[in-house]
Amino acid sequence: MKGKLLMLVLLVGVSLLFLAGCGSADHATENDEPVEVLEPDDSPEPVETDGTVVVTDQMGREVVIESVPQRIISLSPSNTEIAFALGLGDRIVGVTEFCNYPPEALEKDDVGGFSTPSIERILELEPELILASTIHEEEVPRLEELGLSVLVIESSNLIDLYTSISLVAEVTGITADGEALIASMQERIGAVEAVVADLDPEDRVRVYYEVYSDPLMSAGKGAFINEIISLAGGVNIFGDVDENYPTISAEVVAEKQPDIILFPDYHGTADFVVDGMAERAGWESLPAVQESRVFAISDDAFARPGPRVVEAVEEAARIFYPEMF
């Protein structure tokens, strides 16, 4: 019964991971400093211009914004986090049911699921701008046919994320605030990189990130999590695998001898996961297990490409090298 419960809980959890994450970490180290966010009262007035703003979004589309949008709908959790981090919370009128951060996002009107937004509900909210993702490829032309402005932003790495932030800031008339947010993120990540820069390759911790347990799934070269591990000075033991989320085996993990094990804590499943790991053949000899360096971390901050990536990098660095941070 316990095994069936574990499998059901983790199946729900991993589904949410691929919908941009929605968990929280009870076991990971708390961050000392959250991402700096502009409060609504401190947000600058929209920039008034006589012309239009024309940008190329991250689906390669030319998007024309004729006036500064005051009513915005976000169709993905990462887009919602970007908008709020830019101080656009007062302009957000609708989000998806998976948009759980910041807490203020939960107070906004619900426009449906991440991959299944309600066109009818979107129209009712009369948005002047919709922040979509590439998963909404079918919905984008339908929304545009209805006369709505849609900006598609999608981040698979840190450079993409900076571009996403710049695009949202530009079309909402707060370019300077986009630059400030990016500069703050770069400064904090750069501070971590400076500390771990002089570590010899053989001194860098080897990290296994477990996305899912049945079947075992980890993070490959193209996963956002892989970049976080690298920026924090770690070496992802599956970082040379081309597939973003490869299916792997317990035997291969045992062969690679990770020093650290990270896994997402899906609403209190940490104890189940740790118990299951301890029972895997050969894992009792893993340095991570022997030294009790198995950590549940926030699946949102680590898997969701948003401004909280800086918190994920800082958290990972403290886990990897507690004596240095």
Contact 156, 99 (CB under 8 A): no
Q: Is residue 191 part of a domain?
A: no
How many domains does one find in the chain?
A: 2
Percentage of the residues of the chain whose pLDDT score is greater than 70? 84
Instruction: Note whether 299 and 247 are same-domain residues.
Output: yes
What is the domain-level CATH number for residue 162? 3.40.50.1980
Instruction: Note whether 49 and 166 are same-domain residues.
Output: yes
Q: Is residue 164 part of a domain?
A: yes
Average pLDDT over residues 50-62: 88
The pLDDT assigned to 271 comes to 80
Instruction: Note whether 290 and 224 are same-domain residues.
Output: yes
For 244, the domain range is 2-31+198-320
pLDDT reading at 14 higher than 80 = no
Instruction: Note whether 274 and 215 are same-domain residues.
Output: yes
Q: Is 194 exposed, middle or buried (0-12, 13-18, 19+ CB in 10 A)?
A: exposed
Cα 181 from Cα 185, distance rounded (Å): 6
Q: Is residue 181 part of a domain?
A: no
Among 158, 173, 188, identify where a domain stops. Answer: 173
Q: Is residue 80 part of a domain?
A: yes
pLDDT reading at 153 higher than 80 = yes
Residue count (the chain): 325
Instruction: Note whether 52 and 116 are same-domain residues.
Output: yes
The pLDDT assigned to 43 comes to 41
Q: Is residue 217 part of a domain?
A: yes
The pLDDT assigned to 7 comes to 43
Per residue in 204-222, pLDDT (tens digit) is 999 999 999 889 999 999 9
